[in-house]
Structure 1
Amino acid sequence: MIDTHKTGEFRYPVSDIRDQDEAGFGITPSQTVGPYVHIGLTLEGAEIIAAEGDTVDVTFTVLDGNGDPIADAMIEIWQSRPDGTYNTTEHEGFRGLGRGMCDETGSVTFTTLVPGASEDEAPHLKVGVFARGMLERLYTRLYFPEQDNSSDPVLALVDAPRRELLIAEQVDGGYRKTIVMQHADPEKETPFFRV
């Protein structure tokens, strides 16, 4: 599972090199996206995608396969406006992109507008997940339970029994979605997409 509370020895020896000119020539190891993924990527208020209109709160909780929260995960979402368009000036104060760091419960909440259908796709949020130990972000989606998602071509790529794992739960006038990573039972792990 993803280790958010490191207490043992490091996997690789700690280098005493303090200047890049002292390093040997050759291939360097891959760099993961954590644990300091938030430095320079998140700004105060980046979870507020829209501050006016019929805003809703969308809460994501990121868990590992043991059910433990991934407290240093970062979630990034992209979406269309309520009319299904991207990058227009029709809705002042709407960015369409949000980033947020999960708290100690593995959760982060975004304030946004419910997107509209676009390009033959059901209304959805595109979701990127960053966390320590990962070489690349994971891509998934959030669909809304009150929408007709049956003809969405991307959701159709997921095996029918697992499609529910991408549908948000409606709670207190907003939405909640749990993202499960690295579960031993693939039927319980959130479906991720290759982009």
Structure 2
Amino acid sequence: MTELQTTPSQTVGPFFENGLFWEDGPFVVPDGTEGAFRVEGRVLDGAGEPVPDAVVETWQADPEGRFDHPDDPRGPVRWKDFRGFGRAATDAGGRWGLLTVKPGPLPAGDGWEAPHLNVSVFCRGMLVRLVTRIYFPDEEANAQDPVLGSIADPAARSTLIATTTPSGYHFDIRLQGEHETVFFDV
């Protein structure tokens, strides 16, 4: 009888630059859209080093809280050229950025979710995506948001809040280690 051997593990990629690059990806809305701003940040590994070949994808509601999806029960998006989806590859410094507009609040049970961006992160060495959210620091609704409220540790909760910049917002995604971004099991 032959003894079975463990198959060596392998990492995924690096294929993100070649396989997932999309020229219009960083534009959830076209340049020049009223109210548009930039959300920018870095993807960092457990040692705080930049991840140069990651992909950050976002999915969001429009400013009225509607998704660009036919199954949204509140009806179709009424914003011209609003895609609701963005994709940005990181550069050599781990930097990424998107042009978007602030989403509206979303119904959630008996309450509302604060405006946020849903985020997926893909990078070398991960077999599945990581999922998180970006919340805005200037939203009173953050205090009642059921997802933010489910995170008991204030330091962990703060990893989901962007900071304000002159051009919009900054949000670093820390994959591991100190100040690791909260990721959701979906």
Deviant stretches of 4+, over 3 Å: 27-33
User: For the structure 1 residues 45 and 157, does the alpha-carbon distance in structure 2 shift closer, same or farther, using more than 3 Å as the test?
Assistant: same
- List alignment gaps of at least 5 residues for structure 2: 1-5, 69-75
Distance in 1, matches of 2:77 and 2:145, equals 26
Q: Which TM-score applies when normalising by structure 1? A: 0.80
Find the counterpart in structure 2 of residue 58 from structure 1. 39
Number of equivalent positions: 166
Q: Which moved more, 1:74-83 or 1:87-96?
A: 87-96
Counterpart for residue 179 of structure 1: 173
Which residue identity is paired with 2:25? A
Structural RMSD (CA)? 1.7
Q: Give, in whole Å, the separation in 1 of the partners of 2:10 and 2:39.
A: 30
By how many angstroms is 1:65 displaced? 1.5
Give SS of 1:39's match. helix
Whether 1:106 and 2:94 are equivalent positions in the alignment is: yes
Q: CA deviation at 1:129?
A: 0.5
For 2:113, what is the secondary structure of its paired residue? coil
Q: How does 1:1-195 map to 2 (within 5 A)?
A: 32-51=11-30, 52-87=33-68, 88-119=76-107, 120-148=112-140, 149-161=142-154, 162-183=156-177, 185=178, 188-195=179-186
Aligned AA for 1:109?
G
Shift of 1:56: 0.4
Which structure has the bigger radius of gyration?
1
Deviation at 1:29, TM superposition (A): 7.1
Cα 1:33–1:96 change in 2 (3 A) is farther
Q: Could you tell me how far 1:156 is from its partner in structure 2?
A: 1.6
Q: Which amino acid aligns with 1:48?
A: F
Question: Shift in Å at residue 105 of structure 1?
Answer: 1.0
SS state of the match for residue 49, structure 2? coil
SS in 1 for 2:144: coil
Greater percentage in helix:
2
Contact 1:33-1:136 within 8 A present in 2 as well: no
The superposition leaves residues 10-49 of structure 1 with CA deviations (integer Å, 9 ceiling, x where unpaired) of xxxxxxxxxxxxxxxxx98776542102434331121011
Give a deviation string over 1:98-127, Cα, whole Å, max 9, x none.
111000110111000011101111000001
Preserved contact between residue 31 and residue 135 of structure 1 (Cα < 8 Å)? no
Mapped partners of 1:77, 1:154: distance in 2: 17
